[in-house]
Amino acid sequence: MIKSDDIKTVLIIGAGTMGAQIGLQCAVHGLEINLYDISDEALEKGMTMIQSFIGSMIAQGFLAEKDAAAALARIHPTTNTSQAAQADLVSESVPENPELKGKVLAQFNQLCPTHTIFTTNTSSLLPSMYAEATGRPDRFAALHFHTYVWVSNVVDVMPHPGTSAETMDLLEAFARRIGQIPIRLEKENHAYVFNSMLNALLRTANSLAAREVTSFKNIDRAWMGIMKSPLGPFGIMDQVGLDTVWEINQYWANVLKDEELQAIADMVKVYVDQGFLGVKSGQGFYAYPNPEFQEADFIHKGE
């Protein structure tokens, strides 16, 4: 098996919010990135996000301005699956559907070299749901990043029962190589570590809003005022992407026949249907780039 230092080229499957962030983080750390998506439109949106992310990284001190052009030059957007032949590691960030993820990874299994390590960035599914579809289950695990990758630089490294110890060691070393703090899990757990805690918060917040107990802004005010946090659960969901929030809640509502999750999915779908996807679209629960929760008197306003 290859070692972490042997990884030169990373294939990012999915140029959405997380794929763009993961690709940029790897490029900043000297890796060549093939950023794959199925349409030129998706790639254009992804590269626009990356340009914006670079500006944020420079402003926040995570990237020197003199290094920005070189990092960007390492990112190669493509709709050509033949680029998979160059991949040493795959990071998959397609929508939260196990059948779709399995289908996509099975396709790339036929195109990637045998040494290529496959990873999934799923935020709610278990890798065992589609491990066999990868065609290389021993070289497959979850490598789950958090937004924004360069700020919230903790990554879950989670095996499924068939993941080899060598793969886990390699991914842990790779995470450190690209500036991440690896959290190594010993077994599968829905939503990993941080997201297990976060999901409990978001479900409760969404349920309060869906049941019209109070407004989403007041729910954020409660969290921000007591925890002294710069944003609340609805601000967090805007960062994650409301399309992703909806997909996760709708999937589990169907699987578990959970009425509360279905009510949450229905509430979020109203925003998604209007194109209000959060930060990436400029509008979610809040309007960006200057969301109301950043105003000095937001907590004290009340509704």
Task: List Cα–Cα distances, 173 to 15, 87, 161, 179, 302, in angstroms.
Answer: 24, 18, 20, 10, 47
Predicted local distance difference test score (pLDDT) of residue 302: 74
pLDDT recorded at residue 66: 97
Q: Which of 127, 129, 135, 133 is CA-nearest to residue 160? A: 127
pLDDT per residue over 188-226, tens digit each?
998 899 999 999 999 999 999 999 999 999 999 999 999
pLDDT of residue 123: 82
> Distance of alpha carbon 146 from its chain centroid, rounded?
6
pLDDT at 58: 98
pLDDT score at 226:
97
The per-residue pLDDT for 20 is 97
Report the percent of the chain where pLDDT is more than 70. 100
Residue 252: pLDDT band (50, 70, 90) is very high
Residue 303 has pLDDT above 80, yes or no: no
Q: What is the pLDDT of residues 136-156, one digit of tens each?
A: 999 999 999 998 999 999 999
- The dihedrals phi and psi of 220, each to the nearest 5 degrees, come to -65, -40
The one-letter amino acid code at 10 reads V
**CA-wise closest residue to 92 among 125, 118, 113, 64:** 118
Contacts of 86 (CB under 8 A, 6+ apart): 9, 11, 32, 34
What are the structural domains, with CATH classification, of the chain?
4-184 (3.40.50.720), 197-290 (1.10.1040.10)
Band (127; pLDDT cuts 50, 70, 90):
very high
Instruction: Decide if pLDDT at 124 tops 90.
Output: no
Check the CA dihedral 266-231-192-110 and report its sign: positive
pLDDT digits (tens, 9 = 90+) for 281-293: 999 999 999 999 9
pLDDT for 301 = 86
**Separation CA 108–CA 94 (nearest Å):** 13
- Write the secondary structure of 225-284 as one string of H (helix), E (strand) and C (coil): HHHCCCCCHHHHHHHHCHHHHHHHHHHHHHHHCCHHHHHHHHHHHHHHHCCCCEHHHCEC
3-state SS class at 41: helix
How far does CA 174 lie from the centroid of its chain? 17
Structure tokens, 238: 């805007």
Provide the residue type at 155 as one letter: V
Q: Indicate the Cα dihedral angle 147, 106, 161, 144, nearest 10°.
A: 0
pLDDT tens digits along 14-41: 999 999 999 999 999 999 999 999 999 9
